[in-house]
Chain A
Amino acid sequence: MIKAQNVTKSYGKTQALKDVSIEIADGEFAVILGASGSGKSTLLNVLSGLERADGGVVTADGENLSEKNEAERTDFRRRTVGFIFQQYYLLPHLNVQNNVKMGAALADNKDYLEIIASLGLEDKLKAMPNELSGGQQQRVCIARALAKRPKYLFLDEPTGALDEATGREVLDYIMRERAKSGCTMIMVTHNPAIAETAEKVIKMNSGKIVEVSKNAHPKTAYEIGW
């Protein structure tokens, strides 16, 4: 379980998070929904231990992230967290296989080739990132994150740079892989339609959580509008 209590975070004069409290249960799929600049990414980064909150407490499985220093948070991420970013952030000089292997190495995962295959990338093993389309790059990124066998998967606008058809496809891959691994998933999006796929929707506006709602029947990637 990840829990944030009265978390605040500022960048200079900008208050990105103002007294935010939220709980995400194990195995849950939560979406953080809000307009651009509302503080979604900041909240995601604080929850995942990528950044430290200025005030308040963030705990994950009883570990207090707010008390950890940079090295300890790095170790926490190593053990439990996978990331998928809008801009992919693949290492440009490593081929697909080695990019995924980067994730696998952290969890001592020998079966990462299966993950690559299940994302439909088996014929791209030796391709370099700049030879792939956006959707393919994002699938590599998903494989890299899953190869770590993370307990928590954090996604920041994973389909934000993709067209509708490719976006649906990627989203579908993500949801299928999550169903397989059973990891807790926290995804940031500005698209209300995408939020319909989640079990829990956390709505944000100018640094505050304005509404938390549950979807009784989450939709699949192909059932939602876009």
Chain B
Amino acid sequence: MIALKDGLKFSGVTVVCFCAVFVCTFFMNFYADVLPLKESVSAEALPLYTAQLATAKMVCGITGGFLSVIAAIMVVFYIRIYVDSHRRALGTFKAMGYSNAKIAASFLVFGASVLTGCALGFGLGWAIMPFIYKELAVEGMAEITPTFHAALPVYLIVAPTAVFTAVGYLYALVTLRKPPLELMRGTKKLKVRARRCRKDRPLLVEMCLSTLSAKKMLAFFVAFSCFCFSAMVQMGASMQSLAEGTMGAMILAIGLVLAAVSMIMAMTSLVRSNAANIAVMRAMGFSAKERFAAVFLCYIPVAVIGFALGTVYQYILLKIMINLVFSDVAEIPEYSFDVPAFFITLAAFAICYAAMFAFFLYKADKATIKETFTE
């Protein structure tokens, strides 16, 4: 059902996995290499060593951990939305008599894109390891050369691939437990009932609300991608002052890539799952502006909430992490809310959000009614 070429559609998943594993690879490796050095460090180099270890721990914890969590949530969201948007196909195959296991097996392809991303991230992480080590090196400390730790590829490649492959497969299986007719009819009944008996509202508002409430998963996804954008970019900017030089720039770059990817994934899902509405509205003669508004407006509050939460989250996380990690180091680095970074991020966010949405909507707007409904 899902051809391997459809794997391209999951390139977002691949990129997200790549970024997370890439960063984790060299930080975790560095940490694992530096940790046993404690005995050999001379007395006068010890404070520096401790500070360096603390920085590595924090950057590793925040960046790596944060990225991994984000990537994991992202992939799970994406799997759910993707499987849900294929309910009709699932129902049809089930009605034709294919076994659930067999249908669900076609979603194993998710595993391939996760594997690709993780493997690439790990490989590239290794490739630039010497450079990173030089960046992180401390004067007065023996030079460290990267050592291969066999556990790392297990954590960073095998485990995520296995987990996400299983998640995709199992979620498809769970979805397939519904009777085929219900799947083919598309909309879920329960969600539909919840919105009855309300008073009359203007049509555009009603359309917005009904789309929002029928596609809650998607709303979460959009909010989450905005959350990521906000947290990631501001975090990257703050890291510039905490971890100086190339390191900071690299973290910022990865934050930007992830932010962009998460946004693109959310936007494509958003526009794709509203394609039918857009096509019907266009056939009926609603202008481009009205079509844009009917889909776009309702996600603005969602996006704003996501952005605000992201801002709060990254601030609190940095505060806590700094105090926690540097507690045994003499001087705790200064960190206060980065106001310019906030506004720059906000502006970039607004522009990206609107531009990306307009772009994908423009693309989707070309599809005919028939195409969107037979998808």
A102 to B278, CA, bound (A): 12
A83 to B370, CA, bound (A): 13
- The dominant DSSP class at the B interface is helix
**Segment 65-102 of A: residues with Cβ below 8 Å from B:** 71, 74-79, 81, 83, 85, 87, 89, 91-95, 98, 101-102
Distance of B335 from chain A, by nearest CB (Å): 45
A36 at interface, CB cutoff 8 A: no
A98 to B210, CA, bound (A): 10
1/0 per residue A190-212: CB within 8 Å of B?
00000000000000000000000
Distance of A89 from chain B, by nearest CB (Å): 5
Tally inter-chain residue pairs, CB-CB below 8 A.
82
A162 at interface, CB cutoff 8 A: no
Asked if B185 contacts A130 (CB within 8 A), the reply is yes
Asked if A98 contacts B283 (CB within 8 A), the reply is no
Interface pick from B111-119, B220-228, B250-258, B285-293: B285-293
1/0 per residue B173-216: CB within 8 Å of A?
00000000000011101001101110000010011001101100
Q: Which of A75, A81, A92, A98 makes the CB contact (< 8 A) with B287?
A: A75
Contacting residues, chain A, for B279 (C-beta < 8 A) = 89
CB closest chain-B residue, reference A73 = B285
Asked if A106 contacts B373 (CB within 8 A), the reply is no
Contacting residues, chain A, for B284 (C-beta < 8 A) = 77-78, 83, 102-103, 106, 148
Contacting residues, chain A, for B186 (C-beta < 8 A) = 92, 130
**Segment 94-129 of A: residues with Cβ below 8 Å from B:** 94-95, 98, 101-103, 105-106, 126, 128-129
B259 at interface, CB cutoff 8 A: no
Q: A89-B369, A98-B203 are in contact. Are A128 and B192 (CB under 8 A)?
A: yes
Asked if A94 contacts B197 (CB within 8 A), the reply is no
B156 at interface, CB cutoff 8 A: no
Contacting residues, chain A, for B80 (C-beta < 8 A) = none
Asked if B203 contacts A95 (CB within 8 A), the reply is no
A93 to B211, CA, bound (A): 6
Asked if B285 contacts A74 (CB within 8 A), the reply is yes
A131 to B193, CA, bound (A): 10
Contacting residues, chain B, for A106 (C-beta < 8 A) = 284-286
A150 to B28, CA, bound (A): 67
A37 to B276, CA, bound (A): 24
A147 to B54, CA, bound (A): 69
Asked if A89 contacts B373 (CB within 8 A), the reply is yes
Q: Which of B192, B206, B368 makes the CB contact (< 8 A) with A130?
A: B192
**Segment 44-76 of A: residues with Cβ below 8 Å from B:** 50-51, 71, 74-76
A202 to B363, CA, bound (A): 35
23 interchain pairs (CB within 8 A)? A50-B283, A51-B368, A75-B285, A75-B287, A77-B283, A89-B276, A91-B276, A91-B280, A92-B186, A93-B210, A93-B213, A95-B196, A98-B203, A98-B206, A101-B206, A106-B284, A106-B285, A106-B286, A128-B192, A130-B186, A131-B189, A131-B192, A148-B284
State the A residues within 8 Å of B (CB): 50-51, 71, 74-79, 81, 83, 85, 87, 89, 91-95, 98, 101-103, 105-106, 126, 128-131, 148
